[in-house]
Amino acid sequence: MTDMARDEPIELWLEDVSGWEGFMVDSEIEARLFEAFRQVLQAMPVDLCRQFLALRPMVLCPGESAFVIDSPPGPLIYVAPTIARMTDRNLVDRVAHEVAHVLLGHYRQDLRLRRPPHRCEAEADQLSQQWGFRLRYTRSMLRRLHDDWPGGPPAEESPQ
């Protein structure tokens, strides 16, 4: 799938997402978010783009933070309204990180309950970095997630 061939499936997905009731209220934010998704999906390998689109993730932007959860018919990417204050570069990096969570299956509740949050965040950062995007979490942020996790990983497991 070339970049031009990728455009149509991406556009169809974005149209489907934008038609979902309650998705976005601000058309400027919606346009910026759509452009960020487009950039991320164009930057990742073709097979991963296809895999992401096949999962049919939905996007919602009403609350305080970004995360991904399992929701019929597919994953739900929940994006904070604070994205309005993000630079375009930070927004694209955030979207890449959340897309990586989807591809890694971090939205599945069975996996979320078993995997320490610092591991999930580090994995999403590593994958999105392979596509050319910046890390979202510093070592100190990952260590804080590690320390705050009530499940407590085994002693030999430490944040990267």
Structural domain that includes position 136: 3-148
pLDDT above 80: residue 152: no
- Residue-wise pLDDT for 88-145, tens only, equals 999 999 999 999 999 999 888 765 567 788 888 999 999 999 999 999 888 888 888 8
Residue from 34, 44, 49, 65 nearest 129 by CA: 44
Structure tokens at 139: 């070592």
Task: Say what the pLDDT of residue 137 is.
Answer: 87
Is 159 part of any domain?
no
Task: Say what the pLDDT of residue 5 is.
Answer: 72
Number of domain units in the chain: 1
Is 158 part of any domain?
no
Is 126 part of any domain?
yes
Q: Which helix (H) or strand (E) holds 77?
A: strand 74-78
71 has which bridge partners?
74
Is 157 part of any domain?
no
Is 154 part of any domain?
no
- Residue-wise pLDDT for 27-85, tens only, equals 777 788 889 999 999 999 999 999 999 998 888 776 545 556 666 667 888 877 788 88
Is 95 part of any domain?
yes
Structure tokens at 110: 């069975």
Question: b/e string for 5-17 if b means 16 or more Cβ within 10 A?
Answer: ebeebbeebbeeb
What's the predicted TM-score (pTM) here? Answer: 0.80
